[in-house]
Structure formats: structure tokens, C-alpha cells
Amino acid sequence: MKIMIATAMVLLGAFGTSKAQEPSGAAILQSCQVSDPNCMAYVNGITAGIVITQIAKEQGNPICLPDHISTATVREKIISFLSDNPKAQEVGANAAVEVALEAAFPCPKAN
């Protein structure tokens, strides 16, 4: 669930938010009713987030975002990881973002 939120956060900039603040259901409805590209970006982001969450869980590498993290921070972590790891640029975007966020925000190991 947290990775889904992270992906949505990355895309929220399209709705004019500067921090991890989700748009209202009314804003999404209005955007989607007029075929605004922001609607598709948001829907694609949520869908990708669900896929990424499933992959991370299946691989036993859940992602834990800190509270109050900004969209800009998540974006910078993804950029940094992909810049430093060219091989990660060769896979699909879902897998690349999933691995980047796993590296940046691993969940604490249970004792």
C-alpha cells in the first residue's frame, strides 16, 4: 500500500500539489471526464503502484516510506538510483522504480 502511495505521490505534481497531498475524488472525476492527460497519468500511477507493491511483497522486499515524505524526495531517490545503476534503466519502469524504492526505503527487519 505504501508503494502505491509513493507512486501516486510522484504523479501528484500533475495536479498542482507540491507535497504528498492527494487530489480530491472530485478533482479526479473532473479530470477524467474531460479526458485530461493528468487523469491517465494518475490512473497509470495508481495501477503501477499496485503492481509494484505486489512485486515487492512476492520478492520479500517490502518498501516502507517515512511519514511526511515529499514527492520531490521520492522523485530524487528514483533519479539517483537510476543514474547510479544503468542496468536498472534497461528494465520496465515498474521494476526500475520498485528496485529504486526498495533500495531507498527498505522496511526495518523484524527482530
- pLDDT 10s digits, 5-17: 444 444 444 444 4
CB distance 4 to 52 below 8 Å: yes
- pLDDT 10s digits, 89-106: 999 888 898 899 999 998
The pLDDT score that the predictor gives to residue 110 is 66
Q: What does the pLDDT average to over 83-94?
A: 92
What is the pTM (predicted TM-score) of this model? 0.62
- The residue type at 9: M
C-alpha cell at 91: 528494465
Helices 93-104 and 2-12: angle between axes, nearest 10 degrees: 110
The pLDDT score that the predictor gives to residue 79 is 95
The pLDDT score that the predictor gives to residue 21 is 65
Per-residue pLDDT for 23 more than 90?
Answer: no
The pLDDT score that the predictor gives to residue 82 is 96
User: DSSP readout, the chain?
Assistant: -HHHHHHHHHHHGGGT-SSS-PPPHHHHHHHHHTT-HHHHHHHHHHHHHHHHHHHHHHTT--B-PPTT--HHHHHHHHHHHHHH-GGGGGS-HHHHHHHHHHHHSBPPPP-
Greater confidence, 108 or 16? 108
